Structure 1
Amino acid sequence: MLTPSPESQSVTLGVDIGGANLKYADTAGRASSVEFPLWMRPDDLAGQLQSDFARYPDVAQLVVTMTGELADCFLDRGAGVQHIVDQVCRAAKRCEWPAPSFYAVDGRFHSADWAIQNVDLVAASNWHALANLVAKRFAPQLASGGLLVDIGSTTTDLIPLRAGSIATNSRTDFDRLAEGSLVYLGGGRTPVCSLVDHLDLDGRAVPVMREVFATMDDVRLLLGFQPGDASDCRTADGKPRDSFHAANRIARMIGLDHRTFATETAMELAVQVHQRGRDLVRAAIEALGSEGPLIVSGHCGDLLPDNALGREIISLPETLGDQVSRCAPAYAMAKLFAQDRRQARRVSRRR
């Protein structure tokens, strides 16, 4: 498990700004995830960040990565990066914190001005931060190669690693989609209709409706991979996140509803959808053709194929703890920045 740093050390806070969640982790071992629909409230980002920063009163440095620039409230990634950078800087200034640094896919931290001038290097950079730290931390086990498998609520990142480095030249989402190292499948927001074109019921293959009636969140809730929350109505139909309504949402996928559709039947269909998700992750891993262990991160590890293709598993939830693993890119940035600072001080002393 993760051992918190002494309070006397300078604390660095990493922030991973996504389109639906804000994730925080610092070098003292604290981590938190806050749901925030950026696409609905882009101008409220600074206020939300300022409120969340109050949980980390002893922070000395702030480092940021993002994928939220992809939210469809922004015309393009450039506009998204500029907006997020501006909102982060506003929040830091209100808290009287030092100016934030932004992580880019060149593996370095940069100023706000640099980020705005190099939006394509800053956009969708969170995967690189996590892979960078993992490659360094597990370098001995990855001498002949390995694969980082980070399964989140929206996407699955599959990053080849080798001997302490990221073993892919892909940097943008386009490149990674084409390579197969970015799979748009997650354990939360992924629509059921994007995974299956039919569901088997009573010996009949019934085509699914191509509407976002249900998501993987409903599937995993029904199968017990995550808890329900009746007070949470951020679902496909705006109804509670509980077993009854999740089953009803699954039923709608084939034109039925709870009146003639038992929860047990919905669970049988959920198994089919969940297995399809696992099959897609398996196919993506096999297509990359990498060797060595799988380093598993994220909070949706149930989508990893059974037996993990016979490969050794290194679990970040077991290594870092569940909450820090859920916010792993944020934690990775904080650690990388702190390591860079220590290295710079050592070099300065030698001079």
Structure 2
Amino acid sequence: MEIIGWDIGGAHIKVSKINFSKEKTITKQLYCPVWMNINNLNKSILKIKKQLGRSDYHAITMTAELSDIFKNRNKGTKKIINILCEILSEKKTFFYSNAKPFLKKKEALKKTNNINSMNWHATANFISDFYPNCILVDIGSSTTDIIPIKKKRVIAKGTNDYKRLLFNELIYFGVIRTPITAIEKKKNLIYENFANLGDIYRVLNKLPKKIDLGPSQDNKSKSKNDSARRIARIFGKDYKKNDFNKWKKVALQIEKKQKKILKDNINKIKKKNFSSSIPIIGAGVGEFLIRNIYSKNNYFTFYSKLKSIKKINAINCEAAISVAKLLNSFLKNKRSKF
């Protein structure tokens, strides 16, 4: 049995092909700015399909429906469902739902609210088999999910972005595409998109090149010096190479502020949902931030439970891996009933 899991984002497509009989996993990530042109999505899906070859089934989760190229999320979800079923084969394609857990095209088109922006739920659903009581923290390029799991159940109070933001279960910052001014709130800053947090973590040498796929804010290189130059612009300064260590210190201060915001929000979720100590599970390209906050005794990573793939190849593909594994279990259970 081979299943390809797809996490269709508004800026990246993350894919995982799992051969369950051979216990082999392949992942791919592709920069795909859906908001610029819907044809970017068609071309990217076709490209990945060609690279990965045939599979028995496809498991889909998505967040690209919130791209502003669509009038609303409902229309965005329907458009993406139709594109995927046309390219991948409707018979082979299943859509992850927070209610069922998988829907075929006909039902998916009717229940878009159970499908859109549910990649966090899929990752939490998968990890709950290994950590029945925990908080999963998944930090991506532009968002952070803080998901409480109790007795193997995802107990998040929010079921959509609006409510998840309200309950501190979704923070709209990541470690790449987020503006620096989302963390650094000083009054004497230039509130322009000269730089982003990707520049901060390139200066600190914490972003793997394999995952840092999108363009920089000025479309120049992602070297440490060019990243520091972009950071300097936010502070109204011109950059000189001799000043690198100065801007590295600024980057460290911003990282410290982001970790504090992160820890405060995790503690809020913990206090609301748990009366005793529970493990924190880290995931995503920003996993390094969580690892630095918590002690080894009560901290684990999503990747520790993956046997057929190295961590570097799994980072950012957590939801794609999760939906593929969840679909495999779903189909096994379905067959066992007959």
Question: What's the TM-score once normalised by structure 1's chain length?
Answer: 0.86
Asked if structure 1 preserves the Cα contact closer than 8 Å seen for 2:181 and 2:191, the reply is: yes
Q: Deviations over 1:5-54 (max 9, x none)?
A: xxxxx111110000111001132211111111111121231221011012
Overall identity of the aligned pairs, in %: 25
**Other-structure match for 1:191:** 179
Paired residues for 1:1-351 under 5 Å: 10-28=1-19, 29-93=25-89, 98-138=91-131, 142=132, 145-198=133-186, 207-227=188-208, 234-259=215-240, 262-288=243-269, 289=271, 290=274, 291-304=277-290, 306-308=292-294, 312-320=298-306, 321-322=310-311, 323-348=313-338
CA separation of 1:75 and 1:261: change in aligned 2, threshold 3 A? farther
Shift in Å, 1:165:
1.4
Query: Does structure 1 retain, via aligned residues, the 8 Å contact 2:259–2:290?
Result: yes
Q: Secondary structure at the match of 2:206?
A: coil
* Partner SS for 2:174: coil
Residues 304 and 343 of structure 1: CA distance in aligned 2, closer, same or farther (over 3 Å): same
The alignment's C-alpha RMSD in Å is 2.1
> How far has the Cα of 1:260 moved from its partner?
8.3
Tell me how far 1:98 sits from its aligned partner.
3.7
CA contact (8 A) 2:145 2:169 kept: yes
Aligned counterparts of 1:44 and 1:305: Cα–Cα separation in 2: 35
Instruction: Tell me the TM-score normalized by structure 2.
Output: 0.90
Contact 1:38 1:68 in 2 (8 A): yes
Structure 2 CA distance for partners of 1:43 and 1:307, relative to 1, 3 Å: closer
Alpha-carbon distance in 1 for matches of 2:199, 2:62: 26
**Structure-1 separation of matches of 2:261 and 2:238:** 28
Give the secondary structure class of the aligned counterpart of 2:149: strand
Q: 1:22 to 1:232 in 2, by over 3 A?
A: closer
> In the superposition, relative to structure 1, how do residues 330 and 228 fare at CA in structure 2: closer, same or farther (>3 Å)?
closer
3-state SS, counterpart of residue 330 of structure 1: helix
Give 1:64 deviation, angstroms.
0.5
Question: Is the Cα–Cα contact under 8 Å of residues 62 and 98 in structure 1 kept in the other structure?
Answer: no
Which residue of structure 1 lines up, in the alignment, with residue 22 of structure 2?
none
1:253-273 Cα shifts (integer Å, max 9, x gaps): 111122487111111111111
- Relative to 1, partners in 2 of residues 1:305 and 1:346: Cα closer, same or farther, differing over 3 Å? closer
Look at both structures and tell me which one has the larger radius of gyration over its CA atoms: 1
Distance in 2, matches of 1:226 and 1:273, equals 15
| 8 Å Cα contact 2:127/2:302 also seen in 1 | no
Q: Which runs of 5+ in 1 are unaligned?
A: 1-9, 199-205
**1:160: Cα distance to partner?**
0.4
Give the SS at the match of 2:28.
strand
Whole-angstrom CA distance in 2 between matches of 1:105 and 1:79: 19
Given the superposition, is the C-alpha separation of residues 169 and 106 from structure 1 closer, same or farther in structure 2, using an over 3 Å criterion? farther
